[in-house]
């Protein structure tokens, strides 16, 4: 099938590449010419494991191309995916200006019947909005259908998620249009759900908001555990065995960040309140999440009441492992708070060092965990990269000024760390430090 993807961000680039891998002819469009030039040269604008190899292969085999020429891309495609950015406004509302602009461009260049698919995460009602924009800008009255096909892939495992989805959701007003789109996914083994457009749009927000709720829930349980000396990991395990609950997304720690959960939860709160229903549960989810970084800093303060001149080694800066994405990363808030107290921060992240330099200019960027820990008064584990689990802790201990670990993601086993001679503090697992 001939497909056009508008927007080469995370969702657009991965979706386009995976459709090409599945045998379709895909043209990816972006208005940023530097990005298109990079992609044409086989260079990725984002770090995503496995992506480069797949892009290069499909490009070389002629199924994947990149362009800034939206007219040509629309004219040559039967199905057009809108995968543009939907950033948040200050009040939580989703800014749909890129979606609207894309819809207008598509309408302008239509040369026959088209299926227009919203893959960007967009609030309920956007399908109708796109429909109206296309209708107003479609002078030749070509037939078209607007479909919602939300994407559930995660950064860091995007290719795997796109090829092995938990479900495929297609919201369409006509079943035959949904079936046409389904042909694209025919070779994937996944449950398929065909709904109306509004329901598909809500499924995406409801899913992300529910996962965020699980995270804030377990973090509130972690707070209780800290007060009574219980272990939140044991609690999550005990809860997770109940099939109705499940163990995933019950990892207590510094809370959620990234480009999706923070904005999607706030957008759903905004949508709900616009309909006259205050979503107080979700407001509490946001509040709980926003307290996680300061809770961690308070824990460090309890051990180091005077931070002036203290040196902290920060391991992990990206909002989660396997990405260089710093959007809403907890590291930013934590490091800024420590620097405000007069501390110095030395940091290491396996991938996100470049991205960090621009955001946190006062941080000393190190080439390894060991270099970051050299002379440090404490090590702060912020992002649970796998390689941090296998550090040579004898070497780390020798390098540090004082062997103290604050583990914001419960990566390490407390008993083992203490046996090795570390003072060790984590989230919701035992004692609060004393100065």
For the chain, what is the radius of gyration of the CA atoms?
A: 24
End-to-end alpha carbon distance in the chain = 65
Contact status: 262 vs ligand UDX (CB under 6 A): no
- Applying CB under 6 A, does 304 fall inside the site for ligand UDX? no
Closer Cβ to ligand UDX, 256 or 348, answer by number: 256
Q: Count CB neighbours of 287 within 10 A.
A: 10
Q: Where are the alpha helices (DSSP H) in 76-170?
A: 97-108, 126-136, 158-163
Q: Is 260 a catalytic residue?
A: yes
Q: Contact, 328 vs 257, CB < 8 A?
A: yes
Assess contact for 324 and 354: CB atoms under 8 A. Answer: yes
For residue 319, state whether it binds ligand UDX (rule: CB under 6 A): yes
Is residue 316 a contact point for ligand UDX (CB under 6 A)? Answer: no
Tell me: does residue 412 bind ligand UDX (CB under 6 A): no
Q: Tell me, residue by residue from 159 to 188, as one string, x for binding to ligand UDX by CB under 6 A and - for no binding.
A: ------------------------------
How many whole angstroms separate alpha carbon 67 and alpha carbon 33?
8
With CB under 6 A as the contact rule, the residue among 260, 343, 360, 376 that binds ligand UDX is 260
- Contact status: 253 vs ligand UDX (CB under 6 A): yes
How many residues touch ligand UDX under the rule CB under 6 A: the total is: 20
The reply on whether position 7 binds ligand UDX by CB under 6 A is no
Query: Binding of ligand UDX at residue 429 (CB under 6 A)?
Result: no
Residue with tokens 């956007």: 126
Q: Which of 255, 316, 350, 408 binds ligand UDX (CB under 6 A)?
A: 255
Q: Does 153 bind ligand UDX (CB under 6 A)?
A: yes
Strand ordering across the sheet containing 404-407: 364-365, 344-348, 311-315, 378-381, 404-407, 423-426
Q: In the stretch 347-366, what mask flags binding to ligand UDX with x, by CB under 6 A?
A: --------------------
DSSP 89: P
Cβ atoms of 177 and 147 within 8 Å: the answer is yes
Grouping H, G, I as helix, E, B as strand and the rest as coil, residue 374 is coil
Work out how close the CB of 250 gets to ligand UDX at its nearest, in angstroms, rounded to a whole number.
Answer: 6
State the minimum distance, in angstroms, from the CB of residue 289 to ligand UDX.
Answer: 9
The answer to whether 368 and 387 have CB atoms below 8 angstroms apart is no
Smallest gap, in angstroms, from Cβ of residue 278 to ligand UDX? 24
Is residue 295 a contact residue for ligand UDX (CB under 6 A)? no
390-393 — which CB contacts under 8 Å span 24+ positions?
Answer: 393/417, 393/420, 393/422
Of the pair 105, 384, the CB lying nearest ligand UDX is at 384
* One of 258, 350, 408, 414 touching ligand UDX (CB under 6 A): 258
Active site positions, annotated: 260
Q: Which residues bind ligand UDX (CB under 6 A)?
A: 151-155, 208, 211, 215, 249-251, 253, 255-258, 260-261, 319-320
């Amino acid at each position: 099938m001939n497909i056009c993807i508008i927007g080469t961000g995370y969702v657009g680039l991965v979706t386009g590449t995976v459709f090409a891998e599945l045998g379709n002819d895909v043209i990816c469009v972006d208005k940023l010419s530097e990005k298109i030039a990079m992609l044409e040269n086989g260079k990725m604008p984002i770090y995503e494991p496995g992506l480069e190899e797949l892009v290069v292969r499909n490009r070389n085999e002629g199924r994947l191309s990149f362009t800034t020429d939206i007219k040509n891309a629309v004219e040559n495609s039967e199905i057009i995916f809108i995968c543009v950015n939907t950033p948040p406004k200050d009040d939580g509302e989703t800014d749909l200006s890129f979606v609207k602009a894309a819809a207008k461009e598509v309408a302008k260049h239509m040369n026959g019947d088209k299926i227009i698919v919203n893959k960007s995460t967009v609030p309920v009602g956007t399908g109708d909005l796109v429909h109206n924009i296309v209708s107003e800008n479609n002078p030749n009255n070509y037939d078209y259908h607007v479909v919602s096909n939300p994407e559930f892939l995660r950064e860091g495992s995007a290719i795997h998620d796109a090829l092995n989805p938990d479900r495929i959701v297609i919201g369409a007003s006509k079943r035959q249009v949904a079936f046409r789109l389904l042909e694209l996914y025919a070779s994937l083994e996944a449950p398929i759900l065909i709904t109306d457009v509004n329901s598909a749009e809500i499924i995406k927000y409801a899913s992300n908001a529910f996962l965020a709720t699980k995270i804030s829930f377990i973090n509130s349980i972690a707070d209780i555990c800290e007060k009574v000396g219980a272990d939140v990991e044991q609690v999550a395990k005990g809860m997770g065995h109940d099939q109705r609950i499940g163990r995933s997304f019950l990892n207590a720690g510094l809370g959620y960040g990234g480009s999706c959960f923070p904005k999607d939860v706030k957008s759903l709160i905004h949508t709900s309140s616009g309909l006259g229903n205050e979503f107080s549960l979700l407001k509490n989810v946001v509040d709980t999440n926003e307290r996680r970084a300061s809770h961690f800093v308070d824990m460090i303060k309890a051990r180091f009441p005077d931070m002036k001149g203290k040196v902290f080694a920060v391991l992990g800066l990206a909002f989660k492992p396997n990405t260089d994405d710093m959007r809403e990363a907890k590291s930013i808030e934590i490091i800024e708070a420590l620097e405000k107290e007069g501390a110095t921060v030395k940091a290491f992240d396996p991938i996100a060092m470049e991205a960090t330099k621009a955001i946190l200019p006062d941080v000393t960027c190190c080439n390894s965990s060991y270099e970051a820990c050299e002379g440090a008064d404490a090590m702060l584990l912020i992002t649970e990269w796998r390689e941090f689990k296998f550090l040579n802790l004898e070497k780390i201990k020798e390098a540090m000024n004082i062997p103290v670990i604050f583990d914001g993601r419960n990566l390490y086993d407390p008993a083992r760390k203490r046996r090795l001679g570390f003072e060790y503090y984590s989230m919701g697992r035992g004692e609060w430090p004393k100065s």
